Each structure stands twice: as C-alpha cells, then as structure tokens.
Amino acid sequence: MQTLASGWHFRFGGDAAGVTGNTYDDRAWNEVSLPHTWNRVGEYGLTPSPAMNNAHGIGWYRLHVDVPKVAPGHHLFLQFDAVGNVADVWVNGEHVGQHRGAFSRFRFDITRFVKPGVSNLIVVKADNSKPDIGASTENVIPLGGDFFVNGGIYRQASLIDTDSAQIDLLDHGGPGVYVSTPNVTADEAKVSVLTKLRNFAPSQRDLSVVTTIRDDAKHAVATDSTSVKLGGASMQDVPRMLTLAHPRLWNGLKDPYLYTVTVELRDHGNVIDRVEQPLGVRTFHFDANTGFSLNGQTLPLHGASRHQDRLGKGWAISPQDHAEDLAIMAEMGVNTIRGAHYQHAQEWYDDADKAGMVMWAEVPFVHQSSFTNSAPKQALIDNGKEQLTELIRQNYNHPSIVVWSIGNETDIRPVQLKLKVPAQSLTMLKVLNTLAKQEDPSRATGYADCCEDAIPGQPVLSNVADLTGYNRYFGWYYGKPEDLGTFLDTMHARYPSMPIGVSEYGAGGGLTQHTDNPLGGPVNVFGRPHPEEYESWVHEQSWKAMAARPYLSGVWIWNMFDFPSDLREEGDAIYLNDKGLVSFDRKVKKDVFYFYKAQWSNEPTLYITSRRYVDRAYPVTDVRVYSNAERATLSVNGQARGEALCPEHICVWQNVALKAGDNQVIVNASIQGHALSDSVTWHAPDAANGVRIKAGSLTGVTTADGQRFGSDTFFVGGEGKVLNPFRRGAQEEGPDVAVKTITGAKESALYAAYREGRFQYRVPMPNGRWLVTLHFAEPDASLAATRTFSVKAGDADVLAHFNPASAAGGALKTVTRQFPVVVKNGMLVLDFVPEGGPALVSAIVVTPG
C-alpha cells in the first residue's frame, strides 16, 4: 500500500475548465497534505473570526504521483477513506468513478488508467454543496441536521497493488473477510469466516484459502485450509467454520480481549493476498425489562455521543486526535459511545475494540427524507441503502459495535417548521431496517426518535427497529428534567416488549457564563447566555431519573464535545453547539464532566464546581463538590467550615460566607486510603456594601453607573419569568410577537425579568440596619387593574395592597418602593404575599441604612 498524504494542490471553487487535464497549471494553488478540509466552523466568541470558513461548494485536488511498475496481470486500486460529500475522481484525465456519501471508504480499480513507472495525475472534485432541490447533493443523505458536513479529502488516500486474483477490494469498501461467532460457550466458540474472492483474469485459478486465528500473543489457536477453483472473471464466496477452544471473551472494559483472524489467498503455496481482521468473541442481548447484557451478565450502558470535529481542524483529524477523544471519554467512566450521526474513521472503531467500549454505529439518515415533506425519492432511498451497506461491511468485524442505527430524528422537520402535516420517512426507515437485518442478523438495529406524539397523525417510528433511543431534552427545550422519568415510564408501558434507551439528553454550557442559582429563571436555549451551572443542574436531575430505571438499554449524553453547527449563535460561542461536556479544543472539561466521573468512574474524584465563576456577585455562596467519596471537608481562607456528606456523589455546603477580595476554597476527602484535595480562588464583594439581586434572571447585570446585580438567588417559591419570551430568531417560523418595552427605566435590563407568584427571599446579611429598595414594573396589561400583593420584612408589613401598575401610572412602567429593615440572626427575610393576583418583583437592592 502506498499512502498518498503529501504533494496535493488544492483550490476551492473557480472555473472547472481544464482542471482534470495533464497540461493544466496548478502551481498557483495551495499545497496541502491529507487529511484536509477547507472548512473551519465553530469558535468561542460572539462574532466569526477571519479563520472561520463554513463555505459549501466544490474543492479541487490535484496530485502528480509516481506509480511503480506492477507485475503482469496485477491490478491497482485507488482508495479514499472518506471524501466530503460527493467525490468525482479522474486519473490521467479519465473519469474513473463517483462516490456519493461523506463518511465511508471507497475504492476504484484504476489499472487501465495508469501508466506504471512514470508520473500520473490524480484529480478529485470534492463537493459539499448544501443539500437542496436541484443541488448535486439533493439525493445524498444527510439532507439536513444540526451539524456541519465538511468538504474535502478529510481522511487518507492510498494506492493498493494486488494480484489479479484477490480478496475482493470492490465489496462496498469492505475488507472482503467477514467474521462472526454464531455459537459461543465456555468450552468452545464456533467462528464463521466468510471470504469474498474476485478474479479479474479471464482464466480459472486453482488456489487455496488459509484461515488462521491467533491470540494476543500471535500464537495460532485455530487454522483451516481449503482449495478453491476460482473461475475466470468471476467472484466467489468461501465460507469456513473454525472452532476456538475455551475462548477468552471480549468483555467490555473489564477485559477487551482480541484475537486476530488472518486469511491468506495462496497460489501453489505462495501468498498472493492477505487480510487481517479483529475477532472479539462475545454474546450480547437487549431486553425490554433488564436492559443490556454482555456475555450473559447485565451491563448498564452509560456513555455519550461524539462528533468527529476539532477546533482549527474540522474533520481533518489525526489518529492521535481519535485516541485522545477516547481517552477523555474513558476517564469520565464511559462504557458506551454513540457515533453521531454517521460512520466514523476506522481508527476510532479500532480504538474502541481495544478499549472495550460498546458502540452504537449510525447511518447518516438524519432530520428529513425530502425537502417538501413528500415521500423520499427512490434515488435517496438507494443512496441510504448504499451508505448503510458500506457502514456494515466496512465495520462488520468490530466486536465493539452492537447496534446498527438506521436513522436519527428523521421526522423533526415538520416539528421545527410547525407544519401540520406529518413526516414521511417511515417507508425509508423500514427499507433500511430490513437491509440491516439482511446484512447482519447478529446485531440489533436502532433508531433515535425525537418526535413521537409531537404532531397529530405523525407516523410512529419508535417500533421500526429492534431498539429505540429517545432524544429528549426535558429541562432544556421543554419541560423540567424530572419529566424525563415520567416520559420513559410512559414509553416503556406503551412498548412493553421493545428495548428502549435515551439516545440524547443534555443542555448547553458556556465556559464564561455563570449563574448563582440554576433555578433562578428561564434559560435562553436558542441564544445567550448558557450558564455552565445550568448545564450541570439539568444533567444532575436527568441522570437521577435514568439511574432509577434499570429497564433502560443504555443512555447516551448529547454530547461529549462541543461541536460545529452553523445554525447556532448561542452561549459564549459562534456556530457551535455547546452541549458538550468538554470544550471544542478538548482543553477544558466542564463541571458536568466531573459529575459523571464521580458517578461512573472508579477513579477517586473530588472536584469543586463553578470554579470558572471567579468574580462573584455575592459575598455568600453555596459550595458544591462532585465526589465519589462518602464525605468531604471544607475550609475557606484557612478556616474549617465543616464536613458534608456526598449523597448521589454531590457534597454541598450552603450559605458559605466569603470575605471581600480573594478567597481560597479547599475541599479534602479520602477514598480507600487515597487522600484527595481540590481548591479554587474566588473573588467576592464586601458584605458591608449590601446586595443587589436581579429577580427572575439566570444571570446578573452591571448597570451604567457600575452597580452590579447578581442573578436571582436566595428565593423560596415563585417562578422566574422574562418580559419577552425567548425565541429562536431567524430559525423560527411563524408570526412575529410584539416586543414589550419598559418605559421610565434608566436601566431597562433590570426589568427584563421578574419573579412572580407566592415567594420569599432569605438573604444572608450581616446584622444591623439596612435600606431595602424594591423595583417593580407590571408586565401584563391584562392584570394591571387587579394585581395586588403585600410585602413583609420579617414580621413587619412594609407594603400593603400594593398594585405596581397603579403606583407607576400604568403597565410596563417602573416604580420603586423603599423601606428600612433591621437584620437579626444574619438573615433578611422578605415575604411576597399575593392578594388580587400573583406578587412580583424585578430587582432587590439592599444597601447600608
């Protein structure tokens, strides 16, 4: 094999005239090496930098390569491990083939096009045009999706020289050798090895096929030899069955033991072709009531999904990048990975085999099956079938893979566009499921569902495959995290014989955006900010619901790493989906990473959360720690603050006072004799200056005159609301909603949110005299005449029968009320009591009195 990594010349776009010819002058093009993509999508920041490139279109590659002389009768193949998205290939000016699909390996027999012993020209047109009606990618899956399809030769390319008789290289990019274990006991494993042969020569060849199984020390433990009469210009399957005595099982993370199967094609004793493939001997089963089992033992699957992008690299990543991703996931305690939403690199599956990860492999049937919500075209179905066949055959021998997933959220388009007609992807899913079972009946098929019950009349897709994973974002796009458990129980009861899991759940998390209380108000899921603490809270609550349901076949977090989507301008990033547990560049592990490490990993863990929230808004805070210790101790500025138990691997110290300036916070614990310690430094304001609370808001604000208001916290009850509900902006279909504007406000941001209902504030304060100022604005004109409530400070009535609209002279107008208080026992208590309607407040200011 000759790797074609260097010496390529590249140009994006431009006139195609003459580009494929030998006389074309490409010296002005950029010289690049493989892997290569022209796309660079996703950054941390609010506007794109000059390095950003989300261009769709055509990229041209040209390579002059010396092709060595080949033996008479030999054949030469050109192999590409992946090209995004449609690839056309020319050799010496002749078109040798086209491949449609961005994720799989493909090969062309270029024997008749090359001139051995001299320089030859290879030209590749890589086309990642955005799918649309009439586009070159109109009938190539995926048609849509919340990720970016990179253009270019983003995996390696190579030349392969073979005998005219060979182990078939034209079998959908597969290895030509397919290994399975139809019967496994403690005493023996039956190992089925199917070898596909091809003879390009016109005459018959008398050959032999020798199959050997070796253990991890390279010792032969089983062998088989058979004679084959391979007809001229023909193909032939050679099935063999070997017996492996007392097999050592591939047992996930505990013991990912691998044998090697070697198939040699011999001509009178001379090896003319040789293929080596992994063998992991294992059995597995999905059960609707007990979940997943491996080798007869129940194994709760907990893991995450992964996209293949890197900051600054796009999809052009290295084997070292793959290895680092897997190591990060293993550190967190992951034992299963969902390959979203397409076929990943061979290095990825090889690493998963060796690590013992249980894999969900997925074909890129995502989002929609047409552009008009009509039935999918036959050309699209055919492309889906080809990409699924490539996925299965190229990865058939990886023991880590247990699920072939046939699609993801294929009916979400009508939901997003608020259409009243259902999606029509059911037929294509059934075709793909049937094909997957034909190609590999030994594995389960899966489907990731987003939208059952979302639209009246929507076809049910949950029961098409063997296993259904539900993509559900309770606490983020809708509902509350605790709703997840109820939903799962409903689905389990609806489909009592079908294994189910959670294939996506999560929330966005900005590295530079923080809140003092994730319950303080609604989150702007389609915009900014996305506080890191809110992401952690959603995961804490979601995992609690899933961990209590052993019938789940698996759970896969969305997503392990932040990844590109040029549909998004959210959190503290541009063109990134920030639901990752680790940053796009893999340099920062978010707080929630350590939550799962404490839950899933056996490695001793102790981690102070909210550590990036350095400049604090309040002189008092809760200290939260993720740990798999039973208890931990806290000290602040060298003073002991006590011990806390760590139920559900979360240790909490409430209302911890901080001094003005820098505070060193240290936690210590011991796990099985291992001493652990973690520390952070937080900067706090002076408690003597009081507090300022922005009610109903997840984040604070600093006013033009320098007054800093912290996010809503210290409350009990009520509901945080925003004046103008968050919308998806240009991505949302539907009529415009009138924007409410507050009049009479020097700082309108103080009134953009409010707390409403029956609620109380319990604000830790130094004892003494203080002055309280409450800010109000009636947000709802329909309640302006009737809303009345009272406010108590401790036992004293400070506001009675208060109507904010009447006091302000109308709705959407500001008004303040001020009163002195005396704080005793270190706590200011403010009660908001409804009378003629729910109480509300927009901001609370407590200053020295």
Q: Read off the pLDDT of residues 156-197 as tens digits, 9 standing for 90 and up.
A: 999 999 999 999 999 999 999 999 999 999 999 999 999 999
- Among 639, 664, 684, give the residue marking a domain's end: 684
Side-chain half-sphere exposure of 346, counting CA atoms within 13 A: 19
Q: φ and ψ at 17, to 5 degrees?
A: -60, 125
| pLDDT range class, residue 736, cuts 50, 70, 90 | low
Tokens representing residue 166 in the block: 């060979």
Domain of 784, CATH number, reads 2.60.120.430
d(C-alpha 35, C-alpha 37), whole Å: 7
Average pLDDT (630-654) is 97
Question: Is residue 334 within 8 Å of residue 357, measured between CB atoms?
Answer: yes
Judge whether 387 lies within some domain. yes
- Please report, as a single letter, which amino acid is at residue 115: K
- Please report, as a single letter, which amino acid is at residue 287: D
* Annotation says 747 is catalytic: no
665 lies in the same domain as 721:
no
Does the structure show a pLDDT above 80 at 732? no
pLDDT for residue 14: 87
β-pairing, 467-471 vs 768-777, is unpaired
d(C-alpha 451, C-alpha 461), whole Å: 9
- Among 646, 665, 684, give the residue marking a domain's end: 684
Looking at the DSSP assignment, which residues form a beta bridge with residue 266? 208, 271
Judge whether 340 lies within some domain. yes
250 lies in the same domain as 357:
no
d(C-alpha 648, C-alpha 141), whole Å: 42
463 lies in the same domain as 527:
yes
d(C-alpha 518, C-alpha 531), whole Å: 8
Question: Is residue 501 within 8 Å of residue 696, measured between CB atoms?
Answer: no
Question: Is residue 411 within 8 Å of residue 423, measured between CB atoms?
Answer: yes
- Among 655, 684, 713, give the residue marking a domain's end: 684
Tell me the three state secondary structure of residue 353.
Answer: helix
Catalytic residue among 43, 409, 540, 570: 409
Q: Read off the pLDDT of residues 772-811 as tens digits, 9 standing for 90 and up.
A: 999 999 999 999 999 999 999 998 999 999 999 999 999 9
Least confident residue range of 257-266, 387-396, 420-429, 772-781: 420-429
148 lies in the same domain as 45:
yes
d(C-alpha 609, C-alpha 668), whole Å: 14
d(C-alpha 303, C-alpha 338), whole Å: 8
Q: Work out the mean pLDDT of the chain and round it to a whole number.
A: 96
Judge whether 581 lies within some domain. no
Q: What is the DSSP string of 51-84?
A: T-B---SEEEEEEEEEPPP--TT-EEEEEES--B
Q: Read off the pLDDT of residues 337-387 as tens digits, 9 standing for 90 and up.
A: 999 999 999 999 999 999 999 999 999 999 999 998 889 999 999 999 999
703 lies in the same domain as 659:
no
101 lies in the same domain as 198:
no
693 lies in the same domain as 673:
no
Q: Read off the pLDDT of residues 670-726 as tens digits, 9 standing for 90 and up.
A: 998 999 999 999 999 999 999 999 999 999 999 999 999 999 999 999 999 999 988
Tell me the three state secondary structure of residue 800.
Answer: strand
Q: Tokens 């550190």 appear where?
A: 331
Q: How far is CA 449 from the centre of its chain?
A: 15
343 lies in the same domain as 328:
yes
The Cα angle at residue 609 between residues 603 and 612, in degrees rounded to 5: 120
Tell me the three state secondary structure of residue 528.
Answer: coil
| pLDDT range class, residue 731, cuts 50, 70, 90 | very low
d(C-alpha 314, C-alpha 585), whole Å: 11
Domain of 189, CATH number, reads 2.60.40.10
| pLDDT range class, residue 393, cuts 50, 70, 90 | very high
Q: Read off the pLDDT of residues 378-389 as tens digits, 9 standing for 90 and up.
A: 999 999 999 999
Task: Name the residue with higher pLDDT: 413 or 775.
Answer: 775
pLDDT for residue 216: 97
Residues with Cβ within 8 Å of residue 705, at least 6 apart in sequence: none
Task: Name the residue with higher pLDDT: 462 or 198.
Answer: 198
Judge whether 611 lies within some domain. no
544 lies in the same domain as 628:
no
Does the structure show a pLDDT above 90 at 117? no
pLDDT for residue 730: 41
pLDDT for residue 735: 52
Domain of 406, CATH number, reads 3.20.20.80
Judge whether 139 lies within some domain. yes
Judge whether 597 lies within some domain. no
Q: Read off the pLDDT of residues 424-476 as tens digits, 9 standing for 90 and up.
A: 899 999 999 999 999 999 999 999 999 998 877 788 998 899 999 999 999 99
Tokens representing residue 448 in the block: 């990731």
364 lies in the same domain as 255:
no
Average pLDDT (243-262) is 98
338 lies in the same domain as 255:
no
Judge whether 38 lies within some domain. yes
Side-chain half-sphere exposure of 507, counting CA atoms within 13 A: 36
Domain of 21, CATH number, reads 2.60.120.260
Judge whether 308 lies within some domain. no
456 lies in the same domain as 497:
yes
What is the helix (H) or strand (E) element at residue 635, kind and residue range?
strand 631-636
> How many CB atoms lie under 10 A from the CB of residue 463?
14
Provide the domain count of the chain: 5
Q: Which structural domain, as residue segments, surrounds residue 56?
A: 2-162
